[in-house]
Amino acid sequence: MLPDIGPTIPGVTASASATQAPSIAARAVSRRFGDRQALREVSFEALPGELVAIIGPNGAGKTTLLSILGGLQKPSGGEVSRPPREVGWVPQQTAIYAKLTVRENLKLFARLEKVDDPAGAVERALELTGLHGRADDVLSELSGGNRQRVNIAVGLLADPPVLLLDEPSSALDPRQRERLWAFITGLVEGGRTTVLWSTHDVGEAERHADRVLVLADGELLFTGSPAALHAEVGGVQRDFEAAFVRFLHKRGH
Ligand SMILES: Nc1ncnc2c1ncn2[C@@H]1O[C@H](COP(=O)(O)OP(=O)(O)O)[C@@H](O)[C@H]1O
Ligand SMILES: [Mg+2]
């Protein structure tokens, strides 16, 4: 975990990031779908080794923001500091093939994504996700937790400095979640990888995030540590979830 850098006004550089170049930054990213404004000039920075949670109600724009950071869709305005090939993407809906083995799936995606040295990339992704022992198992025989690991392994094939996960834990049971978090925490240790993930589970954000981004109706309402969000709400709140709901209410959502 990184030291608490306190609350920041969206778009304004935090003191800690003044000394360290961001791993990825969004600058005034907007996205329109017809009349619907899904994102409104969202700006933030994430540092190397940081775990960043994107939290917000349904339809807040979480998936849209992640998919723009990953280059899956273009913003209507604004820009992202990193090219998509340097950003790994783990979608909520898996694209892996149930009838193929773990290794066959990874080889297929390594070819589709045109990574350098596909065989080496597959072995590294197996190693990183602890899937070596399962490499020859057919996907349909794996538990939900292990399928999710394969999904993450696909996102890691190109050895990206930034990994994005869209609601990675929503289909997992508590023990599988625990393993997922042990794995993700290991991934960011040493500061090589930055992980951004979206979640409905604000308790998970409180436990694991160095920084939370609160999105509501396409607007970035807060960026800072979970403790800073608590402090921003003030008073005595039952827990982080209560503080989060109170915060949204205070901001008119
Ligand atoms: N491809 C699309 N076409 C039209 N509207 C979309 C599309 N994708 C997302 N939206 C709209 O943009 C808003 C944000 O969606 P989304 O990013 O999926 O939110 P979240 O992931 O926070 O639930 C929603 O109102 C959603 O209906
Ligand atoms: Mg979503």
Name the CA radius of gyration of the chain, rounded.
18
Residues 78 and 172 in one domain: yes
> Residue 6: what pLDDT?
46
Task: Please indicate, yes or no, whether residues 147 and 227 belong to a single structural domain of this protein.
Answer: no
Q: Which of 8-12, 170-174, 176-180, 192-196 has the highest mean pLDDT?
A: 192-196
Chain segment 36-58, per-residue pLDDT in tens: 999 999 999 999 999 999 999 99
Q: Whose CA is nearest to atom 4 of ligand 1?
A: 33
Does 63 contact ligand 1 (Cβ within 6 A)?
A: yes
Q: What is the pLDDT of residues 177-214, one digit of tens each?
A: 898 899 899 989 989 899 999 998 999 999 999 999 99
Q: How far apart are the first and last CA of the chain?
A: 30
Residue 58 and residue 108 in one domain? no
Quick one: 208 and 134 in the same domain?
no
Residue 138's domain comprises 96-160
Whole-number Å distance, alpha carbon 58 to ligand 1 midpoint, is: 9
Assigned domain for 221 exists: yes
Residue 91 lies in a domain: no
What CATH number is associated with residue 176? 3.40.50.300
Residue 235 is predicted with a pLDDT of 82
Same domain? For 172 and 62 the reply is: yes
Closest ligand to C-alpha of residue 168 is 2
Q: Note whether residue 8 is domain-resident.
A: yes
User: Which pLDDT value is given to residue 18?
Assistant: 53
Nearest CA to ligand 1 atom 5: 33
Q: Tell whether ligand 1 has an atom less than 6 A from the beta carbon of residue 36.
A: yes
Quote the Cα angle for 121-127-131, to 5°.
Answer: 110
Asked which of 14-23, 50-59, 80-89 is least confident by mean pLDDT, the reply is: 14-23
CA distance 60 to 54: 10
CA distance 128 to 106: 13
Mutate to test the pocket of ligand 1, among 36, 62, 199 (most ligand atoms within 8 A of CB): 36
Whether 61 has a pLDDT exceeding 70, the answer reads yes
Count the domains in the chain. 2
- pTM check: above 0.75: yes
Q: What is the pLDDT of residue 67?
A: 97
Pocket perturbation via mutation, ligand 1, pick of 64, 167, 201, 215 by most ligand atoms within 8 A of CB: 64
Residues 104 and 15 in one domain: no
Q: What average pLDDT is seen over the chain?
A: 91
Residues 148 and 177 in one domain: no
Do 64 and 100 fall into the same domain?
no
Instruction: Indicate if 101 and 220 belong to the same structural domain.
Output: no
Checking DSSP bridges between strand 211-216 and strand 219-224, what pairing results, if any?
Answer: antiparallel
pLDDT, mean of residues 142-164:
93
The verdict on 59 and 177 lying in the same domain is: yes
